[in-house]
Copies of this chain bind each other. A is one copy, B any other.
């Protein structure tokens, strides 16, 4: 099956780079270094790095030159999970089937581990070799803009606001686009930019990621109602418990499933615009729609 080949091929490289970047040094700050690796190296799906590397290849990029960016985007994703789990945010005790970072290391160290991962992401991305520096700089902008207040962090801030006020469908969509699509968009667009793709392909990649991210978030909403806690690796029913507006509360489970499917189909169709072989990206898109965790 294509999707297994894709993961078998890419995951070992991604895991190795992430391990190298957060290796302990036996110095006076080993506890914080351990906390950085604790969630990062605990079996994430690595969807963002895989997306980045696949779009890089799809646009003609060669070799492992984009691997630093792949690691960078996973570090940004992981920092957001660590900070999101903190008591002042979602107050989640479990993450990927283990105690969350602040439960294992304390809130102070978890806060710093998140800050350190975010900072290391940019240091790692900037150390990209064998790609023209103009492209690397533009990709850093793409990464930062989509991760920051106009992107993912903005989505989290909007989430805080909507938790208090409730949300209509339009606001929920905007929040999902920022909170989830933006980092997927950074992955897809960085892949294209680093490979030197023409602007039209950058645009297709951005639209693909917008659709994929919305589908992905809607599926998260569905899984929060329907999944098995052990499979999901985190408590289920937390949205309902917190009285959150989700796609399920707005459209019902069947309506949400239908919308996710349409969005995934749209994402797949956008891949047909690329000249290269997008078979594995299409498989990835299908895989994300059918996931149970």
B154 touches A32 (CB 8 A): yes
Interface centre among A88, A133, A161 (most CB of B within 10 A): A88
Enumerate chain B residues within 8 angstroms of A147, measured Cβ to Cβ.
Answer: 119
Copies in the complex: 2
Assess A123 versus B111: contact at CB under 8 Å? Given A31-B161, A153-B32, A161-B28.
no
Question: Does A272 make an interface contact (CB < 8 A)?
Answer: no
**Total contacting residues, chain A, CB less than 8 A:** 49
Main secondary structure of the interface of A (DSSP, over half): helix
Question: Which chain B residue lies CB-closest to A36?
Answer: B149
Mask: chain A, 105-125; 1 = CB below 8 Å from B; 0 = not: 011110110111011101100
Interface centre among A112, A145, A175 (most CB of B within 10 A): A112
User: Please, how many angstroms separate the alpha-carbon atoms of A126 and B89 in the complex?
Assistant: 30
B119 touches A153 (CB 8 A): yes
Assess A153 versus B115: contact at CB under 8 Å? Given A126-B144, A144-B120.
yes
Q: Which 3 A-B pairs have the closest CB atoms?
A: A123-B144, A32-B157, A119-B148
- Interface, chain A (partner B; CB < 8 A): 28-29, 31-33, 36, 79, 83, 86, 88-89, 106-109, 111-112, 114-116, 118-120, 122-123, 126-127, 133-134, 136-138, 140-141, 144-145, 147-149, 153-154, 156-158, 160-161, 171, 174-175
Further contacts, 10 of them, CB under 8 A, given A32-B157, A33-B149, A119-B147: A28-B174, A29-B154, A29-B161, A32-B154, A32-B160, A109-B160, A116-B148, A116-B157, A123-B144, A126-B141
